[in-house]
Structure 1
Amino acid sequence: MLSFLAKRLVSGIGLLAVLTTLTYFMLRLGTGDVAQTIAGQSAGPEQVALIESRFGLDQPLASQFLDWAAAAVTGDFGRSWFTGQLVTEAVTGRLAVTVTLAIGSVALTAVIGVVLGALAATRRGWLDRLVQILAVIGQAVPGFLVAVGLVLVFAVQLKLFPATGYVRPGDSLGGWAMSILLPVAALTIGSVGGLAQQVRGSMLDVLRKDYVRTLRSRGLSRGRIVYRHVLRNAAGPGLSVLGLQFVIILGASVVVEQIFSIPGLGPIALTSTMQGDVPLVMGIVIVTGAIVVVVNLIVDLLQAFINPKVRMS
């Protein structure tokens, strides 16, 4: 198990290194004259040159990357070029909000997706068709349209939830729950159908196995067979999809947070990317990338726990 864990951890770190390298160069090559933007469009050449010297923008691009990477390895991600705030402060101050939305959505997706998938596999009929419809809607409808629709119906028309804004748990636990319910629902709707469809397909494959027929012949109840044997053996593909859904939800939260005016990583990710604020963007990329690596590692460990063949591979 330790060897399995070490291999997954090394591959995750390597993936994170490749991700940060590609992001840095694409961001630097894809932005215009950042020094001019920082100094202002009315700034003269001397002011622009001063900004370039201050942030090392007058150095070769490879040197800029190596300097940034050497500092980042020690945990120093620098300061925002536009606000001067420490990147670690800017990211950690908003990280909990984004992670809360993502975890809430993934948890809700897991519960609803597994229940719907299991029922669709064992009872068929209208539930089976419902799962297919949800999967198609989740793939076809953009997340921002779902978010806008929820706001129009439940906030504007029915006035059940606030349309925008965020309440911190320390201020009001009830207000916090009300403020994140619609964003979590918007993120969940797009992902629950895919998981339910995967669970349904995996369970149908397991239900056709010989050992399931043997269990039935021994007189075991349907519920015991499904929930103690079939569901566990069909959980592997579902876990893989759930891990992928977490990555998708984390990305979709950028837009959803903007729509609901939630102070997570989404608003500063959009703003810093448009401005070309490299230190802040890279800090966000590293943190979110590390979260994805950890989630994938947890999924791999769960897969190995459920299926010993995974550990052997």
Structure 2
Amino acid sequence: MSAEMTSGAPAGRTRLSGRWPLLTGALIAALGLTFGGITTASAHGNSGHIAHPAHPAPPSSTVAPTRGDSIPNVTLVENKIKAYYGDTVVGTDHVPSTTGNYAKEVHGIEAKARSYLAHARVKPAEGKKSVVFDIDDTTLNTYNYEIFSGFSYNPMTNADYVNNARFPEVYGMPALVNWASSKGYTVFFLTGRPETQRAGTVTNLSKVGYQVPLDTAHLYLKYTAGNQPSYIRCAAATCTTTEYKSQTRKHIESLGYDLVANFGDQFSDLRGGYGDKTFKIPNPMYYLP
């Protein structure tokens, strides 16, 4: 997931435009987890970057139902989410099952990504081959926090999980990332977590097995007012997820890289171009516009 920050908020999953309530995310789950999978870019634009097709939008949160019994029951939807992840208790944490439907779906996406990266061709004029990954629910799984918080985001408790490196890996993702690095891909991480959470983020990624550079040149965290990078053209308080992430990817490409693939669990991680192909990691727990 790309956890986008509201100005001044301390935690990793703060939002530019607010988090959808669980019920809205629940509608997504109730409709069959349709947001997992892969989106392929269509064609190069005039700038030499690939233009992405439109991503489907989730159900609107502003349309008021006319009947209460038309709304999915929150408890039942939560149970569906738990069943999809295969809720498993390890120590004091609830984590996804290694053999559940979530793990199976993620492994399928990773296999397709590996096949694509193994055969992708990069033209010398387009730069050194690279890949970019979101963090929350793309490379680190936050299901344990969602269960702890009752699917209700709290900036203080979330920051505790982030800063104490409490998230497990998204199953199979360290192997994919490390394999890509071994094949000559430069790996970048691009997250909406704020700079104040850099140390915890680096520790967590290293802890679960990501064996790639995690310095400031390869790990991009969200800026705050006063430290806005020159390549970002929108103010910290108003910059949308898509603007922040696409402008950062544009900056990476300006450094001489071809972003062969872009991975994220939110469509806002993937929109805006600057990436030859996008891979959507399933996440029925919440939606970030």
Q: TM-score, normalised by structure 1?
A: 0.25
Normalized per residue, the structure richer in helix is 1
Query: So what's the TM-score if we normalise by structure 2?
Result: 0.26
Structure with larger RCO (C-alpha < 8 A, sep 6+): 2
**Bigger radius of gyration among the two:** 1
Judging by fraction of residues, say which structure has more strand.
2
